[in-house]
A and B are shown apart, each in its own frame.
Chain A
Amino acid sequence: DVKVTQSSRYLVKRTGEKVFLECVQDMDHENMFWYRQDPGLGLRLIYFSYDVKMKEKGDIPEGYSVSREKKERFSLILESASTNQTSMYLCASSLIGTDYEQYFGPGTRLTVT
């Protein structure tokens, strides 16, 4: 079974802090994704990566950056956290050529005060 883990389930940070969210997958997947999920807005793609050191902007990249130094690890960075970044953050991974099936981590509920 594919396992995707995220570094924290719950996180509380102050406005202006730099926040790191880590995601690790154990199935050698090429693709990795970061989403945020908000009520009424659904899942929105922040960034994705299809290879080590490669990254592409999703639909809402502003205020975020990412890092993929190893194939299994994809980090999301909030450079200066703001209250409007309070959300559920979901990481996912997928294998190329498998009908795009994505496997999600359990999520990180981030609150910025």
Chain B
Amino acid sequence: TQLLEQSPQFLSIQEGENLTVYCNSSSVFSSLQWYRQEPGEGPVLLVTVVTGGEVKKLKRLTFQFGDARKDSSLHITAAQPGDTGLYLCAGPSGGSQGNLIFGKGTKLSVKP
């Protein structure tokens, strides 16, 4: 069974700090996605990484896909209160119908 484990589960930091959250698996994924979910809202897709070793940047957010395509990280530089939310990673479940498996997420709180 494919699993995606995210760490840490919770993170509370001050505005301006840097942070990294992780998404790990023992399985190889053809791609991984990151979503951000604000309280009371649905997840919003941030990025998809598809090539081992790939790095993608989205303003202050840097996403990396591991060389072996079993893990990914999200680094936020100079976090702001607007970054607060639940960060989910997801990858194809192996079926043919577009299903994803999701990690349980990292809940980030950035205090002003």
Contact = CB atoms under 8 A, between A and B. Distances in A.
Q: Which of A92, A102, A107 has the most CB of B within 10 A?
A: A102
B100 interface: yes
A92 B30 CA distance: 21
A31 B42 contact: no
A99 B30 CA distance: 8
Contacts, number: 61
A104 B92 contact: no
A102 B41 contact: no
Q: Which of B35, B41, B105 has the most CB of A within 10 A?
A: B41
A100 B30 CA distance: 10
Interface in A58-79: 58
Chain B: number of interface residues, binned into ranges: 20 to 34
A107 B40 contact: yes
B42 A99 contact: no
Contact of A42 (B44, B50, B91, B105): B105
B27 interface: no
Nearest to B49: A99
B98 A43 contact: no
B98 A31 contact: yes
Contacts of B92: 99-100
A106 B100 contact: no
A24 to B, nearest CB: 14
Nearest to A9: B40
6 contacts: A33-B99, A48-B99, A99-B92, A100-B33, A100-B90, A107-B41
Interface of B: 30-31, 33, 35, 40-45, 48, 50, 88, 90-92, 97-100, 102-105
8 nearest CB pairs, A to B: A104-B42, A42-B104, A43-B102, A31-B98, A99-B31, A50-B97, A100-B92, A107-B42
